[in-house]
Chains A and B, each alone.
Chain A
Amino acid sequence: MTIDLLPHLKQMLSAPGLSGYEDPIRDIIRTAWQPFCEEISVSRVGSLHALKRGDGPEPRPRVMLSAHMDAIGLMVTGITEGFLRITQVGGIDARILPGQMVIVHGQRDLPAMVVMPPAHLLPPEAGSGVVALQYLLIETGLRADEVEKLVRVGDVVSFAQEPLELGSSALAGHTLDNRVSVAAVTHCLDILSRRKHAWDVWAVASSQEEIGVTGAFTSPVDIQPDFAIAIDVTFAKSAGSSDWRTFPLGEGVTLAWGPNIHPALYTAITKTADELDIPYTREPAPSMTGTDAYAIQVVQSGIPCLLIGIPLRYMHTPVETVSLKDVRRAGRLMAEFISALPLDFMQTLEWK
């Protein structure tokens, strides 16, 4: 079978799943991965682990693909006259919040929006310029008594922006970070289902990346991989974002290079990419990457890591934009690399 990526991705984008509250998105990913995998389980902190067995003799070496599935969002901190006060879950620039459509996950899901009170209702100075998160409110459209019944402190709030197709190859929406990487893993599993591969492949949709990389610190303990590939989004060039940390949209994936990355693994995967003409850019990551690779590398005795980046504009806004071409490239590159892995691959990695 083959998976059509666009509807798969749109379905994932419509599902909530804030860090720690990943159940809805996990169910969707489980359904998508089930046909390709022999074993599926959930870790004690909510990551999804799916095993696609290789055809090498046992004990087979294992590669772990880690794409975090959790979303950034908001959390209710208080209720005032039917309006909700909020804080962030994950890093959010307060400037993008006024007027954003959200869903409050209360006793039931409530469509709502973030609103910016007029300056004269805020403390002096707080209302001119950027209005800080602590002063923003959520409007549910419901009257105060109803709100008190349906919402409690600690309820999580998701962005509600519907995904938007831009032109023929781009998609905009919230939580493309990092559901596009999950889609790339799905694409990889899909390709591998029609290919031979000696290695066991453990696909992981990790939890709570946006809050302290929690899932990636714990999943390798269960899986015990020989090496891991983290897949996450990276910064695409856009208006106001053009320095060395940014990469062209739709012109290939990035392969991170730096202390979180095993240099020999890097060399091996670039060889695959070069041979197959899969475009990529080397992404300098001079210290830490702020991705699952950062955590996985130091679990237990240490795990060699790669990091594939999918360029994305406007990260951590509800209009994150990617090119589907890059998503497919990421999936294909992983599949090609994995299917070509010899059983003794780890022994061929040399420090030089």
Chain B
Amino acid sequence: MTKTQPNNTRDEALLALIRKLVETPGPSGQEGLIRAAVLEEIKAHVDEVRTDALGNLIARVGTKQAGGLRVMVSAHIDEIGLMVTHVDANGFARFIAIGGVSPLSCIGGRVLFMNGARGVIGCERLEPNSAPTLEKLFIDTGALSREDCPVSVGDVCGFERPFLDLGAHLVAKSMDDRVSAAVAIQALRALKKTPHEVYFVFSVQEEVGLRGATTAAYGVNPDVGLAVDVTRTGDTPRTVKMEVALDKGPAIKVRDSSFIADPRVVNWMVAAAKAAKLPYQLEVLEAGGTDGRAIQLAHAGVPAGCLSIPCRYIHSPSEMVSYADVENAVKLLVQLLSEEIKLD
């Protein structure tokens, strides 16, 4: 069901928030701009906010009341990107990936460096029928020579692509995981009453190995944890078989290749979705991991799960989500955090 919805049924503030977040650059390790953007959006609504040693933005809402728990909700604000490894005599910049970058989706792409420089990605001549590798690719900044080149070894860029509103579906680079950050921000703002001490963590360096959530979970030391992240779908032509599809509601993760979601958390999420009469899908993801794994391993262990936003074309410059799924994810997250949590 992908009929375009009339614009007047959509929350323009949410759309503007998503646009703002996806268009702010922030590859792993370079989350300064996006962190500031998030802080701007939440600071009026939180009881306490801090940035930890790795750069995670950690905001508390509510205090623990009878029957309440310390809950950590983690949405990562970093995105995949590139780092320059060498600039040749003619000014072409070679690079490596930050996070899981596919060479196939690089060619012809445009990049924006953190220092403001821009460039396009070109490719060496390939043998017939061979797939490109990152070693065959280079960034052309328009420079005439090494000396003229605006970037040098170690400079970091993200992909550049404007937000695209297709009505029922929204497209952007870095929907992974800015759409989840938007969900967390909306839920944070909408959370009027909670028995819990909720720590909203906007985590860094997820794409390079859940590093931000690892330290954030240690610092927060939660009783229960939820990642909010995107997940793959099986609803495009001849793709991998997977039950998750766009427009069928947010997904409740049962497992991915990094961890088994705590079954008690899964049951809690399913019960909440049913109670709020929200559509949901159960997710078994055979590749990929989320902050949920990092939370699970904190201290003596934490019951952890993940609320997923179904997303097509993950790690391409055109990641696609369903507006309705995003809205329902916000509602589900608010529902999850508003009531007492029974894990059994």
Residues of A within 8 A of B (CB): 19-21, 43-45, 47, 75-78, 85, 87, 89, 134, 152-154, 208, 211-212, 214-215, 217-219, 221-222
Choice from A44, A134, A208 contacting B303 with Cβ under 8 Å: A44
Query: Does B258 interact with chain A (Cβ within 8 Å)?
Result: yes
On whether the beta carbons of B242 and A78 are closer than 8 Å, the reply is yes
**Known A77-B241, A153-B243; contact A222-B300, beta-carbon cutoff 8 A:** yes
On whether the beta carbons of A45 and B296 are closer than 8 Å, the reply is yes
Residues of B within 8 A of A (CB): 234, 240-243, 254-255, 258-263, 266, 281-284, 286, 293, 296-297, 299-303
Docked Cα-Cα span, A89 to B261, in Å, equals 12
**Known A20-B263, A78-B243, A218-B301; contact A154-B255, beta-carbon cutoff 8 A:** yes
Docked Cα-Cα span, A10 to B59, in Å, equals 51
On whether the beta carbons of B284 and A87 are closer than 8 Å, the reply is yes
- Which residues of the other chain, A, contact B286 by a CB distance below 8 angstroms? 77, 87
- Which residues of the other chain, A, contact B303 by a CB distance below 8 angstroms? 44-45
- Which residues of the other chain, A, contact B266 by a CB distance below 8 angstroms? 154
- Which residues of the other chain, A, contact B255 by a CB distance below 8 angstroms? 20, 75, 89, 154, 211
B interface SS class: loop
Docked Cα-Cα span, A5 to B266, in Å, equals 36
The 10 closest A-B pairs by CB, nearest first: A20-B260, A154-B254, A218-B301, A45-B301, A221-B300, A44-B301, A153-B282, A222-B300, A154-B282, A77-B284
What are 16 A-B interface contacts by the 8 Å CB criterion? Answer: A21-B260, A43-B300, A44-B303, A75-B254, A75-B255, A76-B284, A78-B241, A85-B241, A87-B284, A134-B241, A154-B282, A217-B297, A218-B297, A218-B299, A219-B300, A219-B301
Q: A153-B243, A218-B299 are in contact. List 6 more A-B contacts (CB 8 A).
A: A43-B300, A44-B302, A76-B284, A89-B260, A153-B284, A221-B301
Instruction: Using CB atoms, name the residue of chain A closest to B303.
Output: A44
Docked Cα-Cα span, A276 to B243, in Å, equals 57
Instruction: Using CB atoms, name the residue of chain B closest to A21.
Output: B263
- Which residues of the other chain, B, contact A208 by a CB distance below 8 angstroms? 260
- Which residues of the other chain, A, contact B261 by a CB distance below 8 angstroms? 20
Choice from B243, B259, B263 contacting A211 with Cβ under 8 Å: B259
- Which residues of the other chain, A, contact B234 by a CB distance below 8 angstroms? 78
**Known A87-B286, A89-B260; contact A218-B241, beta-carbon cutoff 8 A:** no
Docked Cα-Cα span, A59 to B242, in Å, equals 54
Instruction: Using CB atoms, name the residue of chain B closest to A212.
Output: B259
On whether the beta carbons of A221 and B299 are closer than 8 Å, the reply is yes
Docked Cα-Cα span, A214 to B304, in Å, equals 12
- Which residues of the other chain, A, contact B301 by a CB distance below 8 angstroms? 43-45, 47, 214-215, 217-219, 221
